Chain A
Amino acid sequence: MNARTEERLRPAGARLLPLVTLAAALALWGALSALGVFPESAFPSPGAVARGFAEEVGKGRLANDLVASLFRVTAGFALAVALGLPAGLWLGHSARARAALLPAVNFFRSLSPLAWIPFAILWFGIGDLPAVFLIFMASFFPVVLAAAAGVASVPAVYYRVAGDYGFRGAELLTRVTLPAIAPQVITALRVTAGLAWLVVVAAEMIAGRDGLGFAIWDARNGLRMDLVVSGMIVIGLIGVALDRLLVRLMRIPSVRWGYER
């Protein structure tokens, strides 16, 4: 969104508009369930969902599931970035490494991480590890590709200038290459974190004993559709919050150039 559109919306109460939408959606939901268009067992009412939510919070299950899911996403994602960034830098610098490995990286990026679920359970059993593994598989390859593409597109003149001003060795990496690819990498991290959050829910449904994904699956097995909906709402809200958090990275002054020109 450019600055001008933002400006035009703000005075008109842009902050209120999403709340209006929310109120309208709630009203429609309430009306549909009050009119009994669908049976309560398949279409829980807002009230039932709110009660279910309070029940989950009260028992402490929600907090427990939330922590479990966030831990898995953080661990898998951090591991993917820690290994994917160096791997991407190397691919970006070496034409030979690109020729050898890029097709494989593209293959695994195109392979849905959920296809690994059988092996995840076989290798890692049930619990944190299979979920962390699946999140890693979902995040690693996009991070590698973003870093590699970023490095390959750094203008040669930056390295000429760096040489002129005496940058050598590790300094070239930390003071030229990394800042030059930072905007692209941050964009990729944002997309990838969203992907990781999608994957954790699926992973926990099948290979978990706790976590938000498991909570939904468990509620479904108990025919508690009110709890399913409350879980869905929490998952969606956390996903938005994670994205908001990563958007902050794009506001760092030294990366603004990547988004403004």
Chain B
Amino acid sequence: MSVVRLENVSLAFGAVEVFRDFSLDIAPREFVAVVGPSGCGKTTLLGLCSGFLKPTGGRVEVAGRVRTVYQEGGLFPWLTVAQNIALGLRHVRQESEREARLQEMLSLIRLEAFAGHYPHQLSGGMRQRVELARALAGDTDVLLLDEPFSSVDYLTRLRLRGELARMLAELPRTVVLVTHDIEEAAQLADRVVVLSERPAVIRRQLRVESPRPRDLTHPEVVAAVRATLAEMGLEREEVMSARG
């Protein structure tokens, strides 16, 4: 059984063919990272999963509640941290339950003290934690992440990866992460999907088995990074220990 299923999907914008006969199955609670050259259709893939884009051919099936975390600036600047996260709980009928869940999310991202702050008063890393909390709040089934950490500095990015792993340990979800950052993919995902140039096909899939959170220098992570780079033509040698 899969939560996200793309079956022989085709999509073209005018003369630009992004996907032709593209298929991908994602199992419940699986964390899939999609990497590939710029403009290959990674973000478009998320648009298809969220239903924002309709395929010109084939089928897209996504089960349950789907939420997207965008690159940056997806928080409403006129709402406080608490109000932004509460957007993710709009469907929760009972006021008291909504409030309780809001507090849970605030403590999960360790920003209880910032509940009344506005996004522009936070650092970039704090903002992304709020975005994650908003997307995870309520019973989200599928979390779509569109380069969620690309706008923060390297060290913050490393910390945010740890945060995300910790949050998913508490609230397991099916995750599709689209990223340029091959380290990020290898460090977080159960499966790394390497796409080709347009029209995108899956060039290779790598499984990373060790449990999260993983160190950046964990041998399996390093091996997956090397294998991915090699597949993209950016590394000369390939290490065979990463299973594909």
**What per-residue 1/0 map shows which CB atoms of B73-114 lie under 8 Å from chain A?**
110111100000001101100000000000000000000000
In chain B between 44 and 78, which residues have their CB closer than 8 angstroms to a CB of chain A?
50, 52, 66-68, 70, 73-74, 76-78
- CB-contact partner of B76 in A158, A253, A260, A261, under 8 A: A158
A160-B52, A253-B118, A261-B120 known; A165+B73 contact, CB < 8 A: no
In whole angstroms, what is the CA distance A260 to B118 when docked? 11
CB distance from B141 to the nearest CB of A (A): 13
B119 engages A257 (CB within 8 Å)? yes
A257 engages B77 (CB within 8 Å)? yes
In chain A between 237 and 261, which residues have their CB closer than 8 angstroms to a CB of chain B?
253-258, 260-261
Main secondary structure of the interface of B (DSSP, over half): loop
- CB-contact partner of B67 in A155, A164, A253, A255, under 8 A: A164
CB distance from A183 to the nearest CB of B (A): 9
Task: Output the nearest chain B residue to A259 by Cβ-Cβ distance.
Answer: B120
B118 engages A164 (CB within 8 Å)? no
- Chain A neighbourhood of B79, CB < 8 A: 179, 254
A166 engages B78 (CB within 8 Å)? no
CB distance from B221 to the nearest CB of A (A): 31
A157 engages B120 (CB within 8 Å)? no
Most chain A CB neighbours (cut-off 10 Å) among B67, B77, B78, B91: B78
User: Number of residue pairs across A and B with beta carbons under 8 Å?
Assistant: 47
In whole angstroms, what is the CA distance A103 to B188 when docked? 53
B76 engages A157 (CB within 8 Å)? no
Interface assignment of A163: CB less than 8 Å from any CB of chain B: yes
Main secondary structure of the interface of A (DSSP, over half): helix
A179-B76, A254-B79, A255-B78 known; A163+B52 contact, CB < 8 A: yes
**What per-residue 1/0 map shows which CB atoms of A72-115 lie under 8 Å from chain B?**
00000000000000000000000000000000000000000000
Interface assignment of A144: CB less than 8 Å from any CB of chain B: no
- Chain A neighbourhood of B118, CB < 8 A: 253-254, 256-257
A160-B68, A164-B68 known; A182+B73 contact, CB < 8 A: no
Number of contacting residues on B, CB 8 A? 19
Task: Output the nearest chain B residue to A178 by Cβ-Cβ distance.
Answer: B78
- Chain A neighbourhood of B73, CB < 8 A: 155, 157
Most chain B CB neighbours (cut-off 10 Å) among A165, A166, A257: A165
- Chain B neighbourhood of A126, CB < 8 A: none
CB distance from A76 to the nearest CB of B (A): 29
- Chain A neighbourhood of B120, CB < 8 A: 256-257, 260-261
- Chain B neighbourhood of A149, CB < 8 A: none
**What per-residue 1/0 map shows which CB atoms of A139-166 lie under 8 Å from chain B?**
0000000000000000101101101111
Interface assignment of A180: CB less than 8 Å from any CB of chain B: yes
- Chain B neighbourhood of A260, CB < 8 A: 120
Interface assignment of A121: CB less than 8 Å from any CB of chain B: no
- Chain B neighbourhood of A258, CB < 8 A: 77
CB distance from B146 to the nearest CB of A (A): 10
Task: Output the nearest chain B residue to A176 by Cβ-Cβ distance.
Answer: B76
A257 engages B78 (CB within 8 Å)? yes
CB distance from A41 to the nearest CB of B (A): 57
In whole angstroms, what is the CA distance A253 to B118 when docked? 9
In whole angstroms, what is the CA distance A165 to B79 when docked? 14
**What per-residue 1/0 map shows which CB atoms of A173-201 lie under 8 Å from chain B?**
00010011010000000000000000000
A165 engages B87 (CB within 8 Å)? yes
B74 engages A157 (CB within 8 Å)? yes
Task: Output the nearest chain B residue to A258 by Cβ-Cβ distance.
Answer: B77
CB distance from B68 to the nearest CB of A (A): 6
Q: Can you name 17 extra interface pairs (CB under 8 A) apart from A160-B68, A164-B67, A254-B118?
A: A157-B73, A157-B74, A160-B70, A161-B76, A164-B66, A165-B87, A165-B88, A165-B90, A166-B91, A180-B76, A182-B78, A256-B118, A257-B78, A257-B118, A257-B119, A261-B77, A261-B120
Q: Which 5 A-B pairs have the closest CB atoms?
A: A257-B77, A179-B78, A254-B78, A257-B120, A261-B120
Provide 25 A-B residue pairs closer than 8 Å at the C-beta atoms, listed in order of the A residue.
A155-B73, A157-B74, A158-B76, A160-B68, A160-B70, A160-B74, A161-B76, A161-B87, A164-B50, A164-B66, A166-B90, A166-B91, A180-B76, A180-B78, A182-B78, A253-B118, A254-B78, A254-B79, A255-B78, A256-B120, A257-B77, A257-B78, A257-B119, A257-B120, A258-B77
